[in-house]
Structure 1
Amino acid sequence: MKKYTFLPLAIAVVLFFTFLFFPNRWLKSWVTDQRVEEAKIELNPLMFQGEYLQSQMLKDKNALPIYGSSELEHFDPFHPYNYTKAAKTPYSTFMVGRGGSQSITHFLNFAEQEKNLKGKKIIFIISPQWFTAQGMDDFHFSPNYSMLHAYDLAFNHEMNPKLKEIAMRRLLQFDTVKRDHLLVSMYKYELAKDKKPIFGRITMALGYMNRALLEKKDLYYSLINEQNKKLHANPSLIRNQTFEQQIQNADAFGEKRITNNNLNVNDRYYNRNIAPKYKQLKNFRKDVDYSKSPEYEDFNLVIDVLKDAGAKPLFISIPMNGKWYDYAGYPKEKRQAYYQKIRTIIKDANYPLIDYSSHEYDPHFITDTIHIGWKGWVYLDHDMDRYWKAK
């Protein structure tokens, strides 16, 4: 006869409740300054989708966060993080964003950190390829979605009520959110004109408990150290070099990496993604129009939440690779319409904008078809310096 023991189950239950009820303040005390410093370059979705590590970084008065998407993952000697280390700037940077991070993702993040953004200088990089005809879809939204941020939005009673309402209605359009029936019930209760008090109290109480679990999970994740990134730093190309010398260094760096095409695309990307289907890619973007996209509504949410928080953003408008987009059939006049629309939105918001659209054909400003790098980073580095020094 087999003997069954409940010991493993009992141990599992004890461990579960130990982790569940372990005091948050003890967990926070284990997150060291070194751990916070490591998180600045990890580009780890666990950090993006959490709260604690970002809040610690934002509380540093000498921190200048940079929000963007996949370009932040492209480390080279001129990358902003490497630049600040080599130039020994009075501020430090940390990166928030990865591929698929677009306006609605950043909105949720800013909403989560509103209390830490008041008076805070930040850099926000705008990528043209966000503004597609369909806008953000579930395929790109889901991997970057933070359940913790979404639950906290429901409990955010300091945000402008109209902004909160628009944001919740927008989030309810995503299947990822729709699958969370408790969150949907919370949002619908918050949005309802005729509220049912008993239903609402039960729903929000359950949501509060779930949010507490998500906060606990975030603290445990904050203790996890990712493997070090390959930063590809080379301080000699930065330190004790003038802006003009750094530009020359970036051009020399780029010339070694673009040798086999006239599209201003690095050899590795060209060989892997363009050369095998070069002829088929001719004019394949002829019907693209980045000046017309649902993404603009999400982008306005970003602007509105930054105003609500009292942040001090500097927006960076990334250019398209002129030679590549000419070949792909997206004409210059249509690209200019996109740039002008971005300029108008930022001007109307009364925020500063650095517009790099004049660098479309500047060799080594864009490293492939879409990502800023090398010479582009040098320009951004020095604009970042000026913005930090400005009152």
Structure 2
Amino acid sequence: MLKRLWHILGPVFCALLLALGLIALYPTKVNHSLRAEREDAVALTKTNFKSKYKKVRALTDPNHHFVPFFGSSEWLRIDKMHPSVLAEAYKRSYIPYLLGQRGAASLTHFFGIQQISKELDYKQAVYVISPQWFVAKGANAGAFQNYFSNGQLIDFLQNQTGSQYDRYAAKRFLKMYPDSSLKGMMEKVAKGQKLSAADRKSLDFKDKIFQKEDGLFSHFSVSNNQKKKVQPQADSLPKTFSYQKLGEIASQDGKTATSNNRFGIENTFYTIRVSHQLDKLKGSQKRFDYTKSPEYNDLQLVLNQFAMSHTNVLFVIPPVNSKWAAFTGLDQSMYQKSVAKIKYQLQSQGFTNIADFSKDGGKAYFMQDTIHMGWNGWLALDKAINPFLSKPSDAPTYTINDQFLTKAWAKYTGKPEEFGK
């Protein structure tokens, strides 16, 4: 009987021991590799999005200026005018490190930033804020769990100081991920209680294991986006940089790519995602409201983190496709109210670097689909990104206002400048 059990379970047991041995012995030292870092920067996989090792490796490279580009699904649309392609084609002084996934929003980015908070100290970043994130229920729990790793939570717990921001983040986390293995510690933080010495020792041990796992398994996550998507398109662009020439190429590409519909939507997207349900989608967004949402409080978490890290951030506010908005009944007045609320939350606290494209959704070939920029939109964005990153400057003086962490602000629909008066 024992022999039979050994034949069945023995290989599994040996494999487990081997895996544990590899993890225990694997070095945690970061080894820089420009080729690997460039691939990671445009990989746009869930593994890369969650990996601390990969992000830290690129952001600490002493010889190359990788800059985190936070967002959601817009970075996935790599065409000739994409920020990564232009940076490659014209040998910019910076390399975008794309941190975006479908459904990712501020709460996801807040916990992701816990892994690279030291790497953001006195550095730069680009952060896309889509008003579409600001729905009534806020971030999607499924998406949040999908892009979350225990490593993020370990870093958060090790860094927490008992502030109201820590308590808020813990409460939001417990609501979004109630079955976490570290639920007990998060409940303590949510209640304002200090972690015990035993908790701290446990976190230190878990952190060592996670870093070894992350470093080991990161080598098995390989992307070819740089080689297959970015480099070929960069090579196809004119050797001499010219916005006029690039604009002509962008407009022609946009015209060719949106030839089968009246909305200016990319052909394949329109055929697969839109054409078969036009009747259903007509007028479907009449009741959408982005002015009241817990997302405003989640954004405040991120802003407070940037302020603590003295990170100089360029915030990007994208538009929606105007033709599509008219078709679906999306209230543009409501959209602009949400933009005004976002901008007030930013500007009143000193986050004054803002590229606001919210009124440009009707420009020719500015949008690639219903809500994502492309072609001429990317070029317009480059005119804001390139000077910001090519000539680094100190972050503005930030003055954090804790009122933006309250439910009152999340639900506020009046004139932003009159809030609290």
Same fold (TM > 0.5): yes
The match for 1:205 among 201, 205, 208 is 201
Give the aligned partner of residue 326 of structure 1: 326
Give the aligned partner of residue 389 of structure 1: 390
Give the aligned partner of residue 401 of structure 2: none
Matched residue of 1:233: which SS? helix
- Confirm or deny that 1:134 pairs with 2:133: no
Give the aligned partner of residue 218 of structure 1: 214
The match for 2:75 among 72, 75, 93 is 72
Matched residue of 2:282: which SS? coil
Q: Tell me how far apart the structure 2 counterparts of residues 74 and 317 of structure 1 sit (CA, whole Å).
A: 17
Q: Tell me how far apart the structure 2 counterparts of residues 381 and 46 of structure 1 sit (CA, whole Å).
A: 27
Q: Tell me, yes or no, if the aligned pair for 1:283 and 1:328 is still in contact at 8 Å.
A: yes
Give the aligned partner of residue 335 of structure 2: 335
Question: Higher relative contact order at CA 8 Å, sep ≥6: structure 1 or structure 2?
Answer: 1
Q: Which moved more, 1:318-327 or 1:264-273?
A: 264-273
Matched residue of 1:149: which SS? helix
Q: Tell me, yes or no, if the aligned pair for 2:103 and 2:140 is still in contact at 8 Å.
A: no
Residues 342, 276 of structure 1: alpha-carbon distance in 2 compared, 3 angstrom cutoff: same
Q: Tell me how far apart the structure 1 counterparts of residues 192 and 78 of structure 2 sit (CA, whole Å).
A: 49
Give the aligned partner of residue 366 of structure 2: 365
Q: Tell me how far apart the structure 2 counterparts of residues 234 and 101 of structure 1 sit (CA, whole Å).
A: 27
Deviation at 1:220, TM superposition (A): 1.1
Matched residue of 1:112: which SS? coil
Give the aligned partner of residue 58 of structure 1: 59
What does the per-residue CA deviation read over 1:50-70, in whole Å, with 9 as the maximum and x for residues that have no partner?
211111211235222211111
The match for 1:153 among 151, 156, 171 is 156
One-letter code aligned to 2:94: Y
Q: Which moved more, 1:288-297 or 1:72-81?
A: 288-297
Give the aligned partner of residue 245 of structure 1: 245
Give the aligned partner of residue 172 of structure 2: 170
Give the aligned partner of residue 90 of structure 1: 93
Q: Which moved more, 1:324-333 or 1:237-246?
A: 237-246
What does the per-residue CA deviation read over 1:36-55, in whole Å, with 9 as the maximum and x for residues that have no partner?
22211111222221211111
Residues 222, 326 of structure 1: alpha-carbon distance in 2 compared, 3 angstrom cutoff: same
Q: Tell me how far apart the structure 1 counterparts of residues 136 and 38 of structure 2 sit (CA, whole Å).
A: 38
- Confirm or deny that 1:124 pairs with 2:120: no
Deviation at 1:193, TM superposition (A): 5.2
Q: Tell me how far apart the structure 2 counterparts of residues 193 and 377 of structure 1 sit (CA, whole Å).
A: 44
TM superposition score normalised by structure 1: 0.91
Give the aligned partner of residue 306 of structure 2: 306
- Confirm or deny that 1:262 pairs with 2:265: no
Q: Tell me how far apart the structure 2 counterparts of residues 20 and 210 of structure 1 sit (CA, whole Å).
A: 12
Q: Tell me how far apart the structure 2 counterparts of residues 117 and 168 of structure 1 sit (CA, whole Å).
A: 22
Q: Tell me, yes or no, if the aligned pair for 2:23 and 2:216 is still in contact at 8 Å.
A: no
Q: Tell me how far apart the structure 1 counterparts of residues 358 and 349 of structure 2 sit (CA, whole Å).
A: 20
Q: Tell me how far apart the structure 2 counterparts of residues 52 and 126 of structure 1 sit (CA, whole Å).
A: 26
What does the per-residue CA deviation read over 1:316-342, in whole Å, with 9 as the maximum and x for residues that have no partner?
110111110111011221222122122
One-letter code aligned to 1:349: Q
Give the aligned partner of residue 186 of structure 2: 187
Q: Tell me, yes or no, if the aligned pair for 2:40 and 2:223 is still in contact at 8 Å.
A: no
Q: Tell me, yes or no, if the aligned pair for 2:93 and 2:390 is still in contact at 8 Å.
A: no
Residues 277, 113 of structure 1: alpha-carbon distance in 2 compared, 3 angstrom cutoff: same
Residues 84, 190 of structure 1: alpha-carbon distance in 2 compared, 3 angstrom cutoff: same
Give the aligned partner of residue 287 of structure 1: 287
TM superposition score normalised by structure 2: 0.84
One-letter code aligned to 1:190: V
Q: Which moved more, 1:51-60 or 1:65-74?
A: 51-60
Matched residue of 2:159: which SS? coil
Q: Which moved more, 1:67-76 or 1:210-219?
A: 210-219
Q: Tell me how far apart the structure 1 counterparts of residues 252 and 335 of structure 2 sit (CA, whole Å).
A: 28
| Aligned alpha-carbon RMSD (Å) | 2.2
Deviation at 1:225, TM superposition (A): 3.9
Residues 156, 280 of structure 1: alpha-carbon distance in 2 compared, 3 angstrom cutoff: same
- Confirm or deny that 1:49 pairs with 2:45: no
Unmatched segments (≥5 aa) in structure 1? none
What does the per-residue CA deviation read over 1:225-275, in whole Å, with 9 as the maximum and x for residues that have no partner?
424124161434353141122112111100001112221212222222222
Q: Tell me, yes or no, if the aligned pair for 1:35 and 1:225 is still in contact at 8 Å.
A: no
Residues 2, 204 of structure 1: alpha-carbon distance in 2 compared, 3 angstrom cutoff: closer
Q: Which moved more, 1:246-255 or 1:342-351?
A: 342-351
Q: Tell me how far apart the structure 2 counterparts of residues 49 and 144 of structure 1 sit (CA, whole Å).
A: 6
What does the per-residue CA deviation read over 1:92-120, in whole Å, with 9 as the maximum and x for residues that have no partner?
22211111111011111222211111111
One-letter code aligned to 1:144: Y
